[in-house]
Amino acid sequence: MLPALALLLVSGFTRHDAQLPDTLAGRRMADLIATFNTKDYSKIEAMVVRNFAQTAFISTTKEDWVSGILESSKNLAPIAPDKILKSSEQSLVVKLKANTDLPVAIRIDLEDEQPFGILSARIGSPEDLNTSKLPRRFANWKELHDLAEDVRSTYKLPGLIVGYQNVGAKTKVSAAGLRNTQAQGLLLQSEDRMLVGSIGQTMTATLIARLVDLNKLSWDMTLGSVLPEVPMLDDYKKVTLEQLLSHQSGIPQEASVSLADVERLVSKIETPSKARMAYVKDVLTRAPNLVGVLSKRQANTDYVIAGVIAEKLIRQPYEHLMERYVFQPMKLTSMMIAPVGSQDQVGGDGQVIGHLLGDFGYTPFELRSEKSDWIMAPSGAGISSSLSDLIHFAGFHLRGISGDADILTAASYKKIHTAIDGSTEKLAGGWVIDASLEGQPCQWSAGTDGSFCAEITMWPKSGLIIAAAMNAGAARQPTPVRQAILAIRDHLTSAK
């Protein structure tokens, strides 16, 4: 799930649009802006296919580009050219008129050979985009801490934690920066908890798989059979548990639960389980989406429903189920499910604080809704972990799909790491499956709540797991955590 830009919205503006240059870059920019203003997933996807270079999809998938542009459009559109800041055959930087009172620009960089497609498209401050170059590769480092500090300082992040493990070897983790930019003495520690966002979906999928292994659930059970008391559209009654975990249900997927939704649905509810059920009862009466549209790592609702099914059939809260069937058996002692700001949780006193990028750099973000975190917990809200535990968790999955199953059966590992036949996106169990990160097959999961960003990637063939997390929202692509992961991968590959 990619974050919306942290910008203050205002209403309207007077249009005196600047003229884009009559160059290939100008025409590609015009197409991007026109499509951006539609806020339409399918039109944005078609624009990306028309204009982007194939090499732009190496470190950032096509779906990520589409989702990122869509999320930004929801906050900034309508946009229009205000001033040309830089124009060349390969780069175009345009200051924008946009639905925000902060200065904002858009930059595209083209490849240097036919068909001169877009390599990178970025939205940010005019000064930053006018002087920056394509995302750099952090290649010249020897110690892990040096890499963490280099990436952190380059993007002026509050804090960054990076780590990796070759299966069978010791996990290495290092941190740089601060827990809180308003508390200079609180240095980020390598074992600090960080929010993992939608990576939590991989944990919910693990829970469901364990319960299937224990014959408490089955992959083919349907919503109509397990939630007969819940009013729902006929389209949803035949949706299976497997389809929920593979992002193929067609149920409307909410990127988040707004404060208005929380107030409307659960203002008088005092337990997480009842809050989740109230949300599920509401969403199952809504018209369906096209299967796969807006589902990529945004299938929050699917995972909330899966959590509710587990709660109902096992008769225990989701939080207790995760602790009993996943965290404890895997010895994941740092993993925690609790609303942001709770004791010992991120956002709490002395703990790591999330940050938003504003006019004066990254500032702490403390506006939270406890009940929103309750509702969306099975999709990753309020799930935090140390990076070493996150890597340890991924290790079970890497070994499981490589034939050394533990905690789950080999069949269950295969199930939650295999996309449904015929699906257009290779997604299953919260993981991006059969992806190729710069030419090397891997599986990865990423998450953000807008004020934290985390990603973990595993390469089954080489037995390598790399993760990174930052206490800041990701307002650029590729994200700093993705760049840190690639830098570690490149370093370890070149050292062989």
- Render pLDDT for 339-385 as a digit per residue (tens, 0 to 9): 999 999 999 999 999 998 776 778 898 767 888 899 999 999 999 99
- 353/363 Cα distance (integer angstroms): 9
| Domain membership flag for residue 8 | no
Using DSSP, state whether 390 is helix, strand or coil.
helix
As given in the structure block, the two tokens for residue 328 are: 């404890």
State pLDDT tens for residues 14-67.
Answer: 445 789 998 999 999 999 999 999 999 899 999 999 999 887 876 677 887 888
Q: Is there a single domain that holds both residue 187 and residue 211?
A: no
CB 20 within 8 A of CB 84: yes
| Over residues 447-456, mean pLDDT | 91
State pLDDT tens for residues 128-147.
Answer: 787 765 566 787 788 999 99
Worst-scoring range by mean pLDDT, 128-142, 215-229, 263-277, 325-339? 128-142
Q: Is there a single domain that holds both residue 410 and residue 438?
A: yes
Residue range(s) defining the domain that contains residue 32: 24-131
pLDDT value of residue 13? 34
The domain boundary, picked from 99, 131, 163, lies at 131
Q: Is there a single domain that holds both residue 181 and residue 87?
A: no
Q: Is there a single domain that holds both residue 298 and residue 424?
A: no
| Domain membership flag for residue 164 | yes
User: Residue 16, Cα to own-chain centre: how many angstroms?
Assistant: 36
Q: Is there a single domain that holds both residue 194 and residue 224?
A: no
Angle (CA) 441-444-450 rounded to 5° is 145
CB 395 within 8 A of CB 331: no
Q: Is there a single domain that holds both residue 460 and residue 347?
A: yes
Using DSSP, state whether 383 is helix, strand or coil.
strand
The domain boundary, picked from 110, 131, 152, lies at 131
How many domains does the structure of the chain reveal? 3
| Over residues 118-127, mean pLDDT | 86
Q: Is there a single domain that holds both residue 414 and residue 453?
A: yes
Domain of 362, CATH number, reads 3.40.710.10
- Residues of the chain with pLDDT > 90, as a percent, come to 57
Handedness of CA 335, 67, 466, 486 (dihedral sign): negative
Give pTM, 2 decimals: 0.77
| Over residues 418-427, mean pLDDT | 67
Q: Is there a single domain that holds both residue 187 and residue 228?
A: no
- 373/464 Cα distance (integer angstroms): 32
Q: Is there a single domain that holds both residue 213 and residue 310?
A: yes
pLDDT value of residue 124? 82
CB 69 within 8 A of CB 121: yes
Nearest CA among 389, 401, 409 for reference residue 431: 401
State pLDDT tens for residues 164-196.
Answer: 999 889 999 999 999 999 988 899 999 999 999
Higher pLDDT, 288 or 70: 70
Q: Is there a single domain that holds both residue 189 and residue 267?
A: no
Higher pLDDT, 403 or 111: 403
Please list, residue by residue across 143-171, b when 16 or more beta carbons sit within 10 angstroms of its beta carbon and e when fewer do. Answer: ebeebbbbbbeebebbbbbbbbbebeeeb
pLDDT value of residue 3? 32
Quickly state the pLDDT bin for 458 (edges 50, 70, 90): very high
| Domain membership flag for residue 136 | no
| Over residues 381-407, mean pLDDT | 95
The domain boundary, picked from 131, 164, 187, lies at 131
